Amino acid sequence: MDYKTIELTYERGVATITLNRPDKRNAISFELIDDLLRALKEVEDSEALVLIITGAGKAFCSGMDLENLKSLLDRTREQNLHDSRTMVQLFRSLYEFRKVTIAAVNGPAIAGGTGLALLCDFTLGVPEAKFGYTEVRIGFVPAIVSTFLLRQVGEKQARDLLLTGRIFGAEEAARLGLVSEIVAPENLMTRARELAALLMENSPSSLRATKKLLTDHARADLDAQIEAAIRENAAVRTTADFREGISSFLEKRKPVWSGR
């Protein structure tokens, strides 16, 4: 397939998706989301047994693209709902991917980038990797990612990360169980491929069955929780605080919240 914002390669049973917008710090655009969804489908239909996701340049994924962020101010209710469902489709496609996934986090992974990095089965991160559910800082609600985070770290830790919107490093992410291993930058992709090789020593059918067991166990709760998250995600975009948060972020000034 023809991809404009990512690169997809195959080698010895391993597929690698590289987010390839280094000049934009691999920010999430509508085009990137579409490319990722198509690439995930291609890999799922391929003979690859393991998928590695990484970023080109110094960042893994810096969150939403600024131009796309600006365009959110003019979206209709129907468009907001569509955007929310598309993001859910991306996150669930990754979370429920039938093959084993490894995130090789080569730098900052912020907001939606945190979601992509931490929804993989294994997350390897360099010491300089940064994470953050920063939505509340711009008048947004981390509705969709919160559904997954609660399952990963529990309510108390999730409240801390989601309500403060603070940036946290690789060591803290590892303590919380969100990062599997911290790896020196020069060894990151080598270690990801070593892990992939170790996984491929196992029975492919057993790996598929185990992943299906895990995702089936979570599916009923996720279905109900995510539907509510989609509505909340779309609704917050109509608030005055959302408009102020986006505007102040783009204008690089401190927001003036109205609470509406």
Residues taking part in catalysis: 135
Spatial distance between the Cα atoms of 130 and 64, rounded to a whole number of angstroms:
15
Percent helix, strand and coil across the chain, each to the nearest 5: 55, 15, 30
* Residue type present at position 17: I
Spatial distance between the Cα atoms of 134 and 213, rounded to a whole number of angstroms:
32
| Lookup: tokens for 88 | 């859910």
Sheet bearing 100-105, strands edge to edge: 6-11, 14-19, 50-55, 100-105, 122-125, 181-182
- Please name which of 71, 229, 207, 245 lies closest in space to residue 147, comparing C-alpha atoms: 229
Assign residue 179 a region (left: φ > 0; alpha: ψ between -120 and 50; beta: otherwise): beta
* Kind plus residue range of the DSSP H or E element containing 245: helix 240-250
The answer to whether the CB of 146 falls within 8 A of the CB of 229 is yes
| b/e code 244-260 from CB counts within 10 Å (16+ = b) | bbbbbbeeeeebeeeee
The residue count for the chain: 260
3-state secondary structure of 17: strand
